[in-house]
Chains A and B, each alone.
Chain A
């Protein structure tokens, strides 16, 4: 399935590699067949522009691209729904509206939103906890929306920030739900909805973050070059990481005529 299934074929490391270090990363034979027997530091074994720049490349370990718009837009929409719900609850906590809607637990929502736990958090965050949550959901949408469809490779920092926003938020939401039942003793329907959304978001966002972490691990494992890892993390391009990425992902087969069109469609906008 993978484009380069033969890890035994290796090429010499480029001159930037650590002295005395074994060139342990492999570039398997490509269609052009130029991988073996290159001079160190030469441009041989380079990945093609198509491999390096195909925006619909599919990273390990999935059989789809987790950075595709079809994967990310639903996350953004769901996060914005949670943002609106949290904003509504914040409006109540600010007393810009007089009551909070709850179809199941009646006035218990208001008890939760005015609870001691909530008041305490307000002293820490300076803003009502619902407003703080709303900003975090907004962050999910922002970081879900930014970046190209190959950002697991091109902008790892963005995917990691996205994960840092989504995953702890899901955990915090779950903890707050437990606190509702145990400490406050009341239930808040909309809080439960947002907590559920948070957990779904964790599930939906996980695949992309995982691919990104695996790719960074691969860069480290094959080069042991911390500066290269740093450069990769911040979205710098390097022939060595291009090669690693080309092995890490596969480009869906398609005829030449549709390549350009796909590229334009994927890169369009903003």
Chain B
């Protein structure tokens, strides 16, 4: 579950990004977007602990793609690449890598979990 823990940390970073980089108050959409995506990432990571929704973290892949897409749309259209765009692009790239890692990645997939591997396989 280490990748879920890292996703939660990155989600927290998205939540505080508007303050860290001092997004201008008139750009309300930047605020909504970063804080919204951060909240979604954290919720999806937490849901992944429940057996029924253990694949919820894959939703973070979609969030990352939208983050990267919006960063590209904003960054490639203006000569100046703002800190917000760079932040969204890097966070999207990092989140997508963590999000594809399954829960309990160090154990074999469910089909191969033997009694020996049982305690670690949830």
Does A267 contact B97, Cβ atoms closer than 8 Å?
no
Partner of B90, one of A131, A148, A268, A269: A131
Q: Check if A49 is an interface residue, CB within 8 A of chain B.
A: yes
> Which chain A residues lie closer than 8 Å to B112 at the CB level?
52-53, 150, 154, 237
The size of the chain A interface, using a CB distance under 8 A, is 35
Does A264 contact B116, Cβ atoms closer than 8 Å?
yes
Residue of B2, B94, B106 with most chain A CB atoms under a 10 A cut-off: B106
> Which chain B residues lie closer than 8 Å to A235 at the CB level?
109, 111
Q: A138-B97, A263-B117 are in contact. Are A126 and B71 (CB under 8 A)?
A: yes
> Which chain A residues lie closer than 8 Å to B71 at the CB level?
126
Q: Check if B93 is an interface residue, CB within 8 A of chain A.
A: yes
A110 to chain B, nearest CB (A): 20
Stretch binding the partner chain, chosen from A139-147, A173-181, A196-204, A249-257: A139-147
Interface residues of A in 215-270 (CB under 8 A from B): 235-237, 260, 263-264, 267-270
> Which chain A residues lie closer than 8 Å to B109 at the CB level?
154-155, 235-237
A216 to chain B, nearest CB (A): 16
Instruction: Give the CA-CA distance A135 to B98 in the complex, in Å.
Output: 11
Does A269 contact B106, Cβ atoms closer than 8 Å?
yes
Residue of B86, B94, B97 with most chain A CB atoms under a 10 A cut-off: B97
> Which chain A residues lie closer than 8 Å to B72 at the CB level?
126
Instruction: Give the CA-CA distance A142 to B89 in the complex, in Å.
Output: 18
Closest to A125 in B: B89
Q: Check if A8 is an interface residue, CB within 8 A of chain B.
A: no
Does A147 contact B106, Cβ atoms closer than 8 Å?
yes
Instruction: Give the CA-CA distance A142 to B96 in the complex, in Å.
Output: 11
Partner of B107, one of A49, A52, A148: A148
B98 to chain A, nearest CB (A): 6
Does B106 contact A263, Cβ atoms closer than 8 Å?
no
> Which chain A residues lie closer than 8 Å to B104 at the CB level?
270
Offer 16 A-B interface pairs, CB within 8 angstroms, sorted by A. Answer: A53-B112, A53-B114, A125-B89, A126-B71, A127-B89, A138-B94, A146-B3, A147-B105, A148-B106, A155-B102, A155-B109, A236-B109, A237-B109, A267-B117, A267-B120, A268-B120
Q: Using a CB–CB distance below 8 Å, which chain A residues touch chain B?
A: 49, 52-53, 55, 122-123, 125-127, 131-132, 135, 138-139, 142-143, 145-148, 150, 154-155, 158, 161, 235-237, 260, 263-264, 267-270
